[in-house]
Amino acid sequence: MTALVLDGKALAQKTEQELTARVAELKAKSGGQTPILATILVGGDPASATYVKMKGNACTRIGMDSLKVEMPEETTTDELLAKIEELNANPNVHGILLQHPVPEQIDERACFDAIALEKDVDGVTCLGFGRMSMGEEAYGCATPKGIMRLLEAYNIDIAGKHAVVVGRSPILGKPMAMMLLGANATVTICHSRTQNLADHIRQADIVVGAVGKPEFIKAEWIKDGAVVVDAGYHPGGVGDIELEPLKERVAAYTPVPGGVGPMTINTLIYQSVDSGERKIG
């Protein structure tokens, strides 16, 4: 069996073409207004600066605007909260992204939760998570939502399947499990301290690796015909799952790189356009 490659890069490019058309239409109808994503970068972490730049570039490619907010390393929680409130109150800002991680003196959770629900296009607030979990309207956390869009685009059947999510982070593992549950999968959540982890994974029709450790999940643990989603990325171009031996015996898999990664930024932009259309349109 040759596995279906779940190509996130190709889907992201196709989506960008669709978003470009939507932004152009919105501009034409509104006298030149576009959706605006505000990105907040606190401190000088080079990786964070690169991610923020990539997000700004994605906005530019589809014709929408971004507002770059850069704050110094010594910024306090109160100063960051004041900036978020200012952006919440700005009618021309349709999405707010606070780049993670922030410097350690800042209460990151308090700052995430200060973002207005309708501008939480990265899906990081407790309110957004709760509403999504309850099946109410909210923007989904960007990486798991990107994974769901990828599975949908390739017509991967989720309903009734047993999905095992390895990882429980608040912005990946937990929302991933809730989204799969919402799509009628039976979901098991595992993590680095799960006993007999291999036994749980062997039962999975869908495996999501989101544990943050290179090739932590071994190929021999995964059954033939499973769908394999690797949300990890580590030096050397490897993910959280030992992918190479699986390529001839699983039904489908996400490559690393080029699978889940492109869908994360793409989903952030997708949800920003959606928010802009609601406000401007």
Which one is catalytic: 7, 55, 119, 145?
55
Active-site annotation holds for 99: yes
Query: HEC string of the chain?
Result: CCCEECCHHHHHHHHHHHHHHHHHHHHHHHCCCCCEEEEEEECCCHHHHHHHHHHHHHHHHHCCEEEEEEECCCCCHHHHHHHHHHHHHCCCCCEEEECCCCCCCCCHHHHHHHCCHHHCCCCCCHHHHHHHHCCCCCCCCHHHHHHHHHHHHCCCCCCCCEEEEECCCCCCHHHHHHHHHHCCCEEEEECCCCCCHHHHHHCCCEEEECCCCCCCECHHHCCCCCEEEECCCECCCECCECCHHHCCCCCEECCCCCCHHHHHHHHHHHHHHHHHHHHHC
Which one is catalytic: 122, 205, 230, 240?
122
Active-site annotation holds for 122: yes
Active-site annotation holds for 7: no
Which one is catalytic: 7, 65, 83, 99?
99
Could you list the active site residues? Answer: 55, 99, 122
